[in-house]
Amino acid sequence: MNKQISVLMLLGSGLLLIVPIVVLILGWQWQPSAHPLGGESTLWIANSAAKPWGALTILLCLVLLFFILKLPKKAFIQLAIIMVATLMLGQLIKVVVKK
């Protein structure tokens, strides 16, 4: 069961990273001034995964998963590492795309 959860988390993490990786490969540059909703509203949407909200979201998810799934300590640590690594990789890709 633990291996199943790890595999599912890795697949989910990979799925979430598809969009940022495609954006990075295509070299697309985000221009908030050209967005129909304007710069300020899109900034709030885009910054929702940035510090501290991304870290708080991961922390909340980990706490909920800890109490809901009642995983063994080793499996929970694996899950936490996968989630934090996915967040860090997504943030790294975002920084590269914005520059």
Quick check: 13 and 83 in contact, CB under 8 A? yes
Confidence at residue 9, expressed as pLDDT on a 0 to 100 scale = 78
Tell me the two tokens of residue 24.
């990075």
Confidence at residue 31, expressed as pLDDT on a 0 to 100 scale = 66
pLDDT tens digits, 22-77: 887 888 776 656 656 666 666 666 666 666 777 787 788 888 888 887 878 888 88
Model confidence at 91: pLDDT above 80 = no
- Per-residue buried b or exposed e for 49-74, using 16+ beta carbons within 10 Å of the residue's own CB: eeeeebeeebeeeeeebeeeeebeee
Quick check: 28 and 97 in contact, CB under 8 A? yes
pTM of the model: 0.52
Q: Find the DSSP H helices in the chain.
A: 2-26, 39-46, 53-69, 73-98
